[in-house]
Every structure is written in C-alpha cells, then in structure tokens.
Amino acid sequence: DTEVTQTPKHLVMGMTNKKSLKCEQHMGHRAMYWYKQKAKKPPELMFVYSYEKLSINESVPSRFSPECPNSSLLNLHLHALQPEDSALYLCASSPRQGLQETQYFGPGTRLLVL
Amino acid sequence: GENVEQHPSTLSVQEGDSAVIKCTYSDSASNYFPWYKQELGKRPQLIIDIRSNVGEKKDQRIAVTLNKTAKHFSLHITETQPEDSAVYFCAASTGVWDSNYQLIWGAGTKLIIKP
C-alpha cells in the first residue's frame, strides 16, 4: 500500500459540532503531518507527529486537537470551529521527520463550517 | 526563519514550449528542495526533488537546478503538454534538529498550457 488515505472526503459542520478527520498510511512511515490549505494558497503546516509524539504545533488554536493513536493512524478532532476554518485539510506522511525525507499527501478533507 | 519566494505567480506558455519557475530561499542551512504539482481539487504530488549535494536533477521532461551560493532553485519543464496545467509549489527544508524539521512553501505558480 503506497498511499495516504483520508476520511471523510467532504464535511459540513456547524460551529457547535464536534467532528473528527482521519488519516491512515501503511507505508511504515514514522512521521505524519496535518496541513490546512486555503484556495490558491500553499499548504500551511499545523502539526507534526514523529514516532507517535507531537513534535511541532504551529500555534494552532485549541479547537483543533490532533491525536496519533498508533504509527499508521492520525486524527484531527474539531470542536467549536469558526467559518474561517473552512479549508482543505491535508494529511501527509514521510519515512522520518527530517533527513531530507519526501512527504506524501493524502487526498484531503474539504471542510465547510457554517 | 526560512522564507521561500516563488515566481512567477502565473505562467502561460504555448503547448510544446518550455516553462521555467524560480524560487529563492533565505536559510543557507536548507538542504532539501521538493517541487509539488497540484491539479484542481487534488492532492499535492511530488514531481521532483533535489538535495543540496547535487546541482541538477532530471526526470524525462522535468529538471530542477540548484544554486546554493545564490540560494535559488528552478523547475524546468520542456515540451509542455496540456496535462502539465496545474499549480506548482516549491519548498525548502528548515530546522536544525529532526524534531523541528519542516518544509517552508513558496506561494505557488499557476501554469497554463495554451493549445
């Protein structure tokens, strides 16, 4: 399996809802990433997990809560989001964090907050 | 911290012609420079990358050059085809330790191939 998968593909939620995004890879990668991408902009790093431990949090608001239950799975828990949080949320993985490793992206979850 | 500038923001070329996209970076410690292609509504996909110990890398119609002294790198696409139409992002690595290693992205170039 050489792909990063993400579910759901689309998500619409109200500002009081709680939802979760899921990302999975079976390439044996030990680094996993969450990015947020707005239209016509580059991906913006949110979190990095290395060996299931959070290594980077780019000052993301606490309404976004990441979780890495095991080396293959990465979740992003969403609560009390704002309309400006509407974006494409991309997950990526790489063999390791650092060491000039290539990042492979999932197809993304398109989130709309009403 | 690292800053990556990418030019042009939009590039329109005739099918069959060449396209060149340029990026400059600020952190002299950067050692990895990937290029990603993102088609509308799809994921970014790595098309080519270069590491700091080489000056040029080629893969069929795509090539990347790196000038570490000047701190710039470029993507070259020859014999462009309609399927090359997409947004292209350059990126540069930053971070002294593995734990703070990440990519800094350019703003993107929208490449339009005219038939």
Task: Decide if B107 and A41 are in contact by the 8 Å CB cutoff.
Answer: yes
Per-residue pLDDT, A69: 96
For residue B27, pLDDT over 70 is answered with yes
Q: Residue B107: which of B14, B18, B22, B41 has the closest Cα?
A: B22
Helix (H) or strand (E) holding B37: strand B32-38
Whether B21 and B109 have beta carbons less than 8 Å apart is answered as yes
Share of chain B above pLDDT 70, in %: 99
Q: Please name the member of B36, B102, B107 whose beta carbon is closest to the beta carbon of A56.
A: B102
Q: What is the mean pLDDT of residues A99-103?
A: 83
Question: What digits encode the pLDDT tens for the residues A54-95?
Answer: 999 999 999 999 999 999 999 999 999 999 999 999 999 999
Confidence of residue A36 (pLDDT cuts 50, 70, 90): very high
Share of chain A above pLDDT 70, in %: 97
Question: What digits encode the pLDDT tens for the residues B43-89?
Answer: 999 999 999 888 999 999 999 999 999 999 999 999 999 999 999 99
The tally of CA atoms less than 13 A away on the side-chain side of residue B7 is 4
Confidence of residue A1 (pLDDT cuts 50, 70, 90): low
Answer whether the bond into residue B82 is a cis peptide, omega within 30°: no
d(CA A41, CA A99): 26
- Per DSSP, B104 falls in state E
Backbone angles phi, psi at B47, to 5 degrees: -110, -30
Residues of A in contact with B107 (CB under 8 A): 41-42
Per-residue pLDDT, B94: 85
Task: Decide if B44 and A90 are in contact by the 8 Å CB cutoff.
Answer: yes
Q: Please name the member of A40, A101, A105 whose beta carbon is closest to the beta carbon of B44.
A: A105
Residues of A in contact with B91 (CB under 8 A): 42
Question: What digits encode the pLDDT tens for the residues B12-21?
Answer: 999 999 999 9
d(CA A90, CA A62): 18
Distance from CA of A63 to the nearest CA of B (A): 23
Token output for B46: 């790595």
Q: How many contacts, defined by CB atoms under 8 Å, are there between A and B?
A: 56
Per-residue pLDDT, B52: 84
d(CA A32, CA A51): 9
Q: Please name the member of B46, B98, B105 whose beta carbon is closest to the beta carbon of A102.
A: B46
d(CA A10, CA A16): 18
